[in-house]
Amino acid sequence: MIVTASAPGKTILFGEHFVVYGEPAIVIAIDRDVKVTAERRDDSNLHISSNLGFSGTFIGERFETEEGDGSEKTLEPIKITAETLFQTLKKKCGLNITIKSNIPIAVGLGSSGALAVATVAAIGRLLGANLTREEIVKLSFESEKYVHLNPSGIDQTISTYGGVIVYSKSEGISHMKIESSIPIVIGNTRIQRNTGRLVDSVRIRKETFPQLMTQLTQTAGQLTREAISVLKKGDLKQLGELMDINQGLLVSAGVSSEELDRLINVAKKGGALGAKLTGAGGGGCIIALSKIGKRKEIAEAIRTAGGIPLIAEKTDEGVTTWTS
Amino acid sequence: MIVTASAPGKTILFGEHFVVYGEPAIVIAIDRDVKVTAERRDDSNLHISSNLGFSGTFIGERFETEEGDGSEKTLEPIKITAETLFQTLKKKCGLNITIKSNIPIAVGLGSSGALAVATVAAIGRLLGANLTREEIVKLSFESEKYVHLNPSGIDQTISTYGGVIVYSKSEGISHMKIESSIPIVIGNTRIQRNTGRLVDSVRIRKETFPQLMTQLTQTAGQLTREAISVLKKGDLKQLGELMDINQGLLVSAGVSSEELDRLINVAKKGGALGAKLTGAGGGGCIIALSKIGKRKEIAEAIRTAGGIPLIAEKTDEGVTTWTS
């Protein structure tokens, strides 16, 4: 039996950075996914191949690289996930794992969370476990801890459930039912971001101007709360305007950049209702909200300006598995 | 006798737009000026020549254009100023007026205010009046009313007194003594702005999201208040950071533009401590705060990006007159 699991990526719609200081953030699942296929091997090895340029085999504690420098480090989370499942389900076997992802990695679109979720779901089902969504989130959290130092669990949750999530430090995660579609174009600046450095820079600015930055943070919190009701109304025009306002607050926090500003401006010229950086900033991606039928024009504008466009949409589908 | 008067231009350092909603703004006089030379004529005509592409003669109510389409409309404020002075001083004569300005017009650098102030000072002294600064502000206000629909009087005040002014609707104008120099580079986008339309767009955004935009406005007010103490300390690094934060708030207000964002980013890459749009936005100018000895590099970066740079500095000198 071969089991395949698909889990969606995510993008932050509102509230990045300010979430660190207790304000709410809104995250949506996008119709880009990581597919993980799992089948048993006769030996006890863990063989992993991927379309990400990393392949190899874990033979006990030893790793044999087939493709890609640093494959062992990159594929280690898969090994951790498999071992976590073996332990939990009290079963163990050799595995062939195949990863097919259409989510660009390391740009804040939740590729590692989706990979962890799809891996748990695929191996879990292959081993005959009927994992609940809660269990998938919990088990996939193990490997994410390895990837990020201080994960909030948002990425695993959104990849497991799909849809829209509101998160805050005090309230935790809550799911939001949003009827309307959210057509977006993501624009990758091709500039690597450094999340830790950016979070630090905001903290330093907050230490320099505590009262001002606290007011700014509270304004961002109010913005996210207004975005929640605008999302419920399904008013895309107002949603776009709130994205523009949020971008200004991120400029004030010091996390935008020349390349992000440029892609935001060309996306809006191309017909976007609003646009902002998404995630840590400093590089990485912008997200532009599209008018109906305008996504190709916006994508083309982003490409012309040197970015990599990615046409996407909110998806309400979380992790799914099937056998073949 | 020939009288010449010089009056400086200005730039808004902090608080544009939010000043409409009661928050304070900081305005500085810059070492660019309008020079107005006045001498008597034997007839009763008012002849005006300028280096702005507008010249002509008012003969009673008639106007004879010498140079420039729309000269009559552009030079009308000079006529109003002259008539206001004739009435106030109960004297009347024909005049040759020569205008030499090195302040670009209609980009928010206070050229019309400086022109009005220099005109009042030159004609006033030619007619033998010993006008106080208060009187110069008041008299020059007459022609500014013609140019702007709702002038606050800031431009005339800063052109008359020089230095640094804090203004708010409730507190009015107060002068601030700032010891340190404020080395800046202004970057003109070459894009015409429409102040009225931009003020309207902020009002509409405020009507759409009243609570959020009120919080944003209060944050801007807090920023200007912190800028006042940073200016008094003479901490240019912190001043630059506050300009960056202010720029974000102006992005949130919806008044920045692609061209402004670009010039701001190149100025910062060129070594600016901070940069923001100045004035109405939508076009017009940016202002970049320079490190010591970095102004030429910043100016060059602005020029390369398609803007017109203008190296400037705070001046504590207001209007001055001399005879020859």
- The alpha carbon dihedral of B208, B209, B214, B216 has a sign of negative
* Chain CA centroid to CA B27, Å: 9
Separation between Cα atoms, residue B184 and residue B287, nearest integer Å:
7
Which chain B positions have a beta carbon within 8 Å of A215's beta carbon? 215, 218-219, 222
ipTM higher than the 0.90 cut = yes
Residue of B nearest to A224 (CA): B212
Check if B236 contacts A (Cβ < 8 Å).
no
Pair B191, B259: CB distance under 8 Å = yes
Confidence of residue A292 (pLDDT cuts 50, 70, 90): confident
**Pairing, β A164-168 against β A172-176:** antiparallel
Residue B95 is inside which H or E element, if any? strand B94-101
3-class SS letters over B57-92:
EEECCEEEEEECCCHHHHHHHHHHHHHHHHHHHCCC
A307 backbone dihedrals φ, ψ, rounded to 5°? -90, 170
CA distance to A173, B161, B319, per residue, from B133 (Å): 63, 7, 8
Amino acid at B319: V
Separation between Cα atoms, residue A254 and residue B306, nearest integer Å:
25
3-state secondary structure of B111: helix
Torsion of CA A44, A49, A54, A60, to 10 degrees: 0
Residue of A nearest to B257 (CA): A265
Amino acid at A62: R
Q: What is the pLDDT of residue B151?
A: 56
Which chain A positions have a beta carbon within 8 Å of B250's beta carbon? 248
**Residue-level length of chain B:** 324
Separation between Cα atoms, residue B4 and residue B125, nearest integer Å:
9
- By Cβ distance, the residue of B208, B251, B254 closest to A238 is B208
- By Cβ distance, the residue of B212, B238, B248 closest to A223 is B212
Residue B27 C-alpha, separation from nearest chain A C-alpha, in angstroms: 20
Separation between Cα atoms, residue A301 and residue A243, nearest integer Å:
19
Q: What is the pLDDT of residue B149?
A: 46
Tell me the two tokens of residue A259: 């390349």
Q: Which CATH architecture has domain B2-178+316-323?
A: 2-Layer Sandwich (3.30)
CA distance to A84, A85, A118, A259, per residue, from A318 (Å): 22, 20, 10, 32
Q: Which of B211, B216, B235, B244 to mutate to test the interface with A (most CBs of A within 10 A)?
A: B216
Write the DSSP symbol of residue B109.
S
Check if A229 contacts B (Cβ < 8 Å).
no
Going from N- to C-terminal start, the domains of chain B cover 2-178+316-323, 183-313
Pair B175, B26: CB distance under 8 Å = no
Classify A183-313 by CATH class. Answer: alpha beta
Tell me the two tokens of residue B73: 């409309």
Residue A238 C-alpha, separation from nearest chain B C-alpha, in angstroms: 8
Amino acid at A44: S
**Angle A203-A204-A207 from CA coordinates, rounded to 5°:** 90
B212–A205: do the CB atoms touch at under 8 Å?
Answer: no
Q: What is the pLDDT of residue B289?
A: 98
Check if B215 contacts A (Cβ < 8 Å).
yes
Residue A111 C-alpha, separation from nearest chain B C-alpha, in angstroms: 30
Count Cα neighbours of B79 within 13 Å in the Cβ-side half-sphere.
20
Check if B205 contacts A (Cβ < 8 Å).
yes
3-class SS letters over A128-147:
CCCCCHHHHHHHHHHHHHHH
- By Cβ distance, the residue of A209, A218, A249 closest to B248 is A249
Q: What is the pLDDT of residue B193?
A: 81
- By Cβ distance, the residue of A208, A245, A266 closest to B212 is A245
Check if A145 contacts B (Cβ < 8 Å).
no
Separation between Cα atoms, residue B133 and residue B55, nearest integer Å:
28
Write out pLDDT tens, residues A127-176: 999 999 999 999 998 776 665 544 578 899 999 999 999 999 999 999 99
Separation between Cα atoms, residue B163 and residue B179, nearest integer Å:
10
Which chain A positions have a beta carbon within 8 Å of B266's beta carbon? 258
Count the neighbouring beta carbons within 10 Å of the beta carbon of residue B66: 12
Residue A224 C-alpha, separation from nearest chain B C-alpha, in angstroms: 10
Separation between Cα atoms, residue A290 and residue A277, nearest integer Å:
15
Q: What value does the mean pLDDT take over residues A285-297?
A: 94
A248–B244: do the CB atoms touch at under 8 Å?
Answer: no
Which chain A positions have a beta carbon within 8 Å of B251's beta carbon? 244, 247-248, 251
Q: What is the pLDDT of residue A123?
A: 98
Q: What is the pLDDT of residue A43?
A: 96
Regions of chain B with pLDDT less than 70: 144-151
Which chain A positions have a beta carbon within 8 Å of B202's beta carbon? none
B215–A222: do the CB atoms touch at under 8 Å?
Answer: yes
Separation between Cα atoms, residue B115 and residue A11, nearest integer Å:
53
Residues 257-276 of A with CB under 8 A from B: 257-258, 261-262, 265-266, 269
CA distance to B2, B99, B140, B193, B320, per residue, from B5 (Å): 10, 10, 13, 29, 6
Which chain B positions have a beta carbon within 8 Å of A238's beta carbon? 208
Pinpoint the alpha helices (H) of B90-194: 111-126, 133-147, 154-161
Q: What is the pLDDT of residue B142?
A: 77
Nearest Cα residue to A180 out of A123, A230, A143: A230
Q: What positions of A carry a catalytic annotation?
A: 155
Which chain A positions have a beta carbon within 8 Å of B203's beta carbon? none
Write the DSSP symbol of residue B274.
E
Residue A219 C-alpha, separation from nearest chain B C-alpha, in angstroms: 6
Write out pLDDT tens, residues A214-237: 999 999 999 999 999 999 999 999
Q: Read out DSSP for A230-288?
A: HHHHT-HHHHHHHHHHHHHHHHHHT---HHHHHHHHHHHHTTEEEEEEESS-SSSEEEE
